[in-house]
């Protein structure tokens, strides 16, 4: 039996990139995907694309830092599908713009970075819990980053905090039967990264990897399917690095 048949996944930042790829993989396995995105048009287009392939997808516009809206979004998802089985906290600020030194970013952008990457994760998690507690196999997957372990940027610090929140929520929500884990992607050559990242930077990162191959979107999707599935039923509070060995250590 397909363990995802008829189950419900809420995916923030679901309109593009990892979020849309997560939705597609889950929908292919029979899940209902609720795509939450600040860009309502992107979310709607992604849902329409999935629906055109006879998949069950719904788009809801919203800012992950808006607690009232996220409570409403989770309630709408649960009302339509009978509850929430998986929350993927994928929405976040990144790219070269937010990878700059803190003195370059300035307080306003640093505050916005932490508001989205950190408080967005907290806000969505707290809003989802009433609709997940007690559901068999319910779990949360956060998206951290290998930058969390490399240091040097506010972005990395925000993603290190996501890894810490993963541990804290795993401890707190275990009594409700909810597992909480995270994925820390390394250099994953999505179309956006291919376009944004200079070739010299790509070469430098590859040089630090144990595996001399490029990471692909499917590698992160496979990690999500493992952590959210029954094969990881005894795994919680962990951050799985998917980096080709970049920064490997203890």
The answer to whether 155 is a known catalytic residue is: yes
The runs of H, that is alpha helices, within the chain are: 17-28, 40-51, 67-81, 95-98, 102-114, 120-128, 147-150, 154-173, 191-196, 199-208, 217-228
Neighbours of 175 (CB within 10 A): 8
Kindly give, in sequence order, each residue whose CB lies less than 8 Å from that of residue 47, ignoring residues fewer than 6 positions away.
33, 35, 57, 58, 59
CB distance 127 to 78 below 8 Å: no
Q: Which two tokens stand for residue 63?
A: 């800012």
Q: Active site residue: 98, 149, 155, 226, which one?
A: 155
Establish how many alpha carbons lie within 13 A of residue 38's alpha carbon, considering only the half-sphere containing its beta carbon: 10
3-state SS of 35-74 is EEECCHHHHHHHHHHHHCCCCEEEEEECCCCCHHHHHHHH
Establish how many alpha carbons lie within 13 A of residue 221's alpha carbon, considering only the half-sphere containing its beta carbon: 17
Active-site positions? 155
């Amino acid at each position: 039996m397909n363990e995802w048949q008829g189950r419900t996944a809420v995916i923030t930042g679901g309109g593009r990139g990892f979020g849309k790829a997560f939705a597609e993989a889950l929908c292919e396995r029979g899940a209902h995907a609720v795509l939450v995105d600040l860009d309502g048009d992107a979310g709607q287009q992604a849902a329409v694309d999935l629906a055109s392939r006879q998949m069950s997808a719904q788009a809801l516009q919203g800012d992950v830092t808006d607690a009232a809206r996220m409570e409403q979004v989770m309630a709408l998802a649960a009302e339509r599908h009978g509850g929430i089985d998986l929350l993927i906290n994928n929405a976040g600020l990144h790219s070269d713009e937010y990878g700059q030194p803190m003195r370059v970013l300035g307080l306003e952008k640093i505050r916005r970075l932490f508001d989205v990457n950190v408080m967005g994760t907290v806000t969505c998690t707290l809003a989802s819990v009433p609709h997940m507690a007690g559901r068999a196999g319910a779990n949360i997957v956060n998206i951290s980053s290998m930058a969390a372990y490399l240091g040097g940027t506010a972005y990395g610090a925000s993603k290190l905090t996501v890894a810490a929140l993963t541990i804290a929520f795993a401890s707190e929500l275990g009594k409700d039967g909810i597992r909480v884990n995270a994925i820390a992607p390394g250099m994953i050559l999505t179309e956006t990264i291919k376009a944004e990242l200079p070739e010299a930077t790509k070469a430098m990162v590859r040089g630090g990897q144990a595996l001399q191959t490029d990471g692909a979107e499917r590698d992160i999707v496979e990690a999500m399917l493992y952590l959210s599935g029954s094969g990881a039923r005894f795994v919680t509070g962990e951050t799985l690095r998917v980096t080709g060995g970049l920064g490997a250590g203890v």
